[in-house]
A and B are shown apart, each in its own frame.
Chain A
Amino acid sequence: MPRRIRPGRLRRRLAIAFVMVAGISAGVLALGSYLLVRQARLADSLDRAQTAATFQLVLAGRQFLPLTEDHIAALKDAFEQRDQHVVLVTNGNAIASNPSFDLPIASELRGLVEAGRLGYERLSLGGHDLLLVGGKIPGSAAALYFITLEDRIDSDLTQLRSVLLIGWVAVLVIAGLVGRLLAKRTLEPVARASDAARSMAEGLLATRLPVEGQDEFGAWAASFNEMAEALEAKITALSDAQARERRFTSDVAHELRTPLTALVGEASLLREHLDAMPPDARRAAELLVQDVTRLRKLVDELMEISRFDAGRETVRTEPVELAPLVGAVLRARGWDGRVTVEGDWLELSTDRRRLERIVANLVGNAVEHGRADVRMRIGRDGRGAFVEVTDAGPGIPPEHLPRLFDRFYKADPARSGGGSGLGLAIAMENARLLGGNIEVSSELGVGSQFRLVLPVTQRLPGREGPVSPAPEHEARHLPEGGER
């Protein structure tokens, strides 16, 4: 099972990146424009104040000099009437035209003005932002400072600030929504491809991706589909070839059956008349009889293999006692003198005939290849019941072990023996049909061990059926008594 990957992480990352890019751009733009506007407004205000101040200073020089008490009062009145507050500095005294604007003038500015230059200063007083522009009245030592209220600029800028902030937040929100949508759209093909790959892995080889648009994902989907197509074609071809091969095996076996039946009948008649034959013909007839037996075994095994392939094999389970079964197999084949059996009494619910076939095959191999005695052990462990067959033969080279249960596989091609090379394959098929397995271990020069492992079913007290039923392959129940 591949590691489950939490979907959505890439999507979230994409959306966040999108929001960040949008937020930073909008932020920089807003801040920049705010600063520009502020700068422009302040410069404009100063410019106007300076122009006005220059003009007013000249006028004041003409109208109110010399600065007598009367002239000073007139000057104050004249400015106040025009809503222009001023501060007059003469002989070191600062006289404000409006008492509420009696402000301290920074000495720096004063110095600048006394040197005959036009100077300005921005300051706030009582919640107001003020611009103070001062200059010397031409033809006198007195200086006049003009006060401009810049409250309007400040409130405009405050408003601009909030508008920009709201706009920026809106941009962020919209970017978030759009980013999510975009990320989802962008990554949708990835999710689809991931689903498609998974369903291909599960064996749905006809899975294809929709090819949408001319973008990279479209190209990717097209190549994915190409790959899927190639894979499907390959696998279909392979399974077709396998099916053909299996059908061929089955056909061959069936076609061989009829001539083989004639051969077996003929050979059995021939065997009864061996004594009446001249020696040469007799030997040939003996060999013929032997070879017919061999051929019959091979065809039988081919038939059996093709029945396994067609899935037509059925399992008839019944209670089977393991040790008596093994004993019967050994006696029936005359092996009881060469094989020692040890183990426990065990009862299984399994198919007697199949179990007999497996045991006969394993013991037969051991008797054939194992020079000395063959040992068998019957028992039970955590995985189930087992029948172990150990021989003291030459052993099997390790490179042959993985393919030992393949059809027609012979570990030693030189030693063709009597076997068809199908025996172990059939034993394995039978073991699997019974829900079990055959394991092999071998050491060169020491011997080999084959171990048949079978599932054990148990009855719980008071329960009828098995707790873990053996695999039911029973295709057809045999007719039996109604109450059985």
Chain B
Amino acid sequence: MDERVLLVEDDPSIREVTALGLKGAGFRVTTAVDGREGLARYLHDPFDVVVLDVMLPSLDGFEVCREIRKKSRVPIIMLTARTDTVDVVVGLESGADDYVTKPFEMPELVARVRAVVRRSQAAPEETTLTVGPLEIDPASFSARKDGHDLSLTATEFKLLLELARRPGQVFTREMLLDRVWNYDYLGDSRMVDVAVQRLRTKVEGDPARPALIKTVRGVGYRLERS
């Protein structure tokens, strides 16, 4: 493992200990002290994962996240200072793949970082799946609808791929958390809802009346067979 992690955190102690923890887990860590520096570093060098604090001077975490998302689908983990639902949802909506609530223990953060890295890695052994107008190619990590590229983030791609592996089958939020985010019940089922919402805006013709990714009331989601 030699993945490069960009850590954007303004508090020196948290920055240092987090960098220590990630380095100890085998990552190569670059740090930035505020939003502007973080964005500049990201644009300058390639990274495999971005760990982003929400409360940052000069440019807050949500802004940095949106800016990065305009150019890249690199996995992003937000560090939210509160267990505030609004913060979590805004973070996920601005394109984050996952979030960790402060205070956090290093093993927890390391596990999350590893999970998003794994998610973003292509699975070359798999063949292309076709469901209705959708064409999903795990080898090239790309998805197309009617021939047009959908430019999905790693999490969105993985989510679509999981749903497309068994079209018509209902996936509960817990199942999706387990298979897409790679951890069991620890996670927050709201992440699934927000990710599905984001996926719909890219996949559906009318996200308000989804034709492909259907909600199954009180259970979960399924992809229409065709």
Q: A481-B210, A482-B209, A483-B210 are in contact. Are A266 and B215 (CB under 8 A)?
A: no
Instruction: Verify if A262 is at the interface (C-beta below 8 Å from B).
Output: yes
Q: Do A262 and B215 contact each other (CB < 8 Å), given the known contacts A296-B103, A482-B208, A482-B209?
A: no
In the complex, what distance in Å separates the CA atom of A476 from the CA atom of B93? 14
The reply on B26 being an interface residue by CB < 8 A is no
B185 to chain A minimum Cβ distance, whole angstroms, is: 9
One digit per residue, 1 when the CB lies within 8 angstroms of any chain B CB and 0 when it does not, for chain A 236-276 equals 00000000000000000000011111111111110010000
B60 CB to nearest A CB, Å: 16
Separation of A269 and B109 alpha carbons in the complex (Å): 12
- Which one, B11, B83, B197, contacts A261 given CB within 8 A? B11
Interface segment out of the listed B16-24, B33-41, B127-135? B16-24
A84 at interface, CB cutoff 8 A = no
* Complex alpha-carbon distance, A150 and B83, angstroms: 113
Given A258-B14, A478-B190, A482-B209, are A269 and B214 also a contact pair (CB < 8 Å)?
no
Report chain A residues within 8 Å CB of B209: 482-483
Q: Is the CB of A257 within 8 A of B105?
A: no
Q: How far is the CB of B46 from chain A (nearest CB, A)?
A: 26
Quick one: given A264-B104, A265-B106, A482-B210, are A259 and B13 in contact (CB under 8 Å)? Answer: yes
Chain A residues with CB under 8 Å of B20's CB are: 269
Q: Is the CB of A268 within 8 A of B106?
A: yes
CB-contacts of A451-484 with B (<8 A)? 476, 478-484
Contact of A319 with B102 in the complex, beta carbons under 8 Å: no
Which A residue's beta carbon lies closest to that of B15? A262
User: Interface size (A, Cβ < 8 Å)?
Assistant: 28
A51 to chain B, nearest CB (A): 118
Q: Which residue of A lies closest to B21 (CB)?
A: A269
Are B17's CB and A478's CB within 8 A? no
Chain B min CB distance to A472 (Å): 15
Choose among A264, A267, A312, A484 the residue that contacts B217 (Cβ–Cβ < 8 A): A484
Beyond A479-B193, A480-B197, whether A261 also contacts B21 by CB under 8 A is no
A45 within 8 A of B: no
| Tally of chain B residues near chain A (CB < 8 A) | 40
A437 touches B (CB below 8 Å):
no
Residue of A nearest to B105 (CB): A268
The answer on a CB contact under 8 Å between A265 and B218 is no
Q: Is the CB of A264 within 8 A of B103?
A: yes
Bound state CA distance, A267 and B108, in angstroms? 13
Question: Considering the chains assembled together, what is the distance between the CA atoms of A269 and B83 in angstroms?
Answer: 23
Check A479–B197 contact: CB distance below 8 A: yes
Q: B103's contact among A257, A319, A480, A481, by CB below 8 Å, is which?
A: A257
Known: A261-B102, A265-B106. A480 touches B86 (CB 8 A): no
Using CB atoms, name the residue of chain B closest to A353: B188
Give the shortest distance, in Å, between A251 (CB) and chain B (any CB): 14
Q: Are B107 and A262 in contact (CB under 8 A)?
A: no
Residues on B with C-beta less than 8 A from A314 are 85
- Say how far B189's CB is from chain A's closest CB, in angstroms: 9
By the criterion CB–CB under 8 Å, are B21 and A268 in contact?
A: yes
CA A441 to CA B142, docked complex, whole Å? 62
B218 & A476 in contact (Cβ 8 Å cutoff): no
Chain B residue numbers with a CB within 8 Å of A261 are 11, 14, 81, 102-104
A116 to B3 alpha-carbon distance, docked (Å): 159
Q: Does B221 contact A (CB under 8 A)?
A: yes
Contact of B196 with A481 in the complex, beta carbons under 8 Å: yes
Asked, given contacts A262-B13, A265-B21, A319-B218, whether A478 binds B193 with beta carbons under 8 Å apart, the answer is yes
The reply to whether B215 and A265 contact each other, CB–CB distance below 8 Å, is no
Asked if B89 is at the interface (CB within 8 A of a chain A CB), the reply is yes
How would residues 297 to 322 of chain A score, 1 for a CB under 8 Å from any chain B CB and 0 otherwise?
00000010000000010100011000
- Is the beta-carbon distance between B103 and A260 smaller than 8 angstroms? yes
| Chain B contacts for A303, CB-based, 8 A | 82-83
Identify the B interface with A (CB < 8 A): 11, 13-14, 17-18, 20-21, 24, 81-86, 89, 93, 102-109, 190, 193-194, 196-197, 200, 207-210, 213-215, 217-218, 221
9 A-B pairs, CB-CB below 8 angstroms? A261-B103, A262-B14, A264-B104, A265-B14, A268-B107, A303-B82, A312-B84, A476-B89, A481-B214
Which chain A residues have a beta carbon within 8 Å of chain B's beta carbons? Answer: 257-269, 272, 296, 303, 312, 314, 318-319, 476, 478-484
Enumerate the 7 nearest inter-chain pairs by beta-carbon distance, A residue then B residue, closest first.
A481-B215, A262-B13, A268-B105, A264-B103, A265-B17, A261-B103, A261-B102
Q: A261-B103, A268-B21 are in contact. List 9 more A-B contacts (CB 8 A).
A: A269-B24, A318-B218, A319-B218, A479-B194, A479-B197, A481-B210, A481-B214, A482-B208, A483-B210
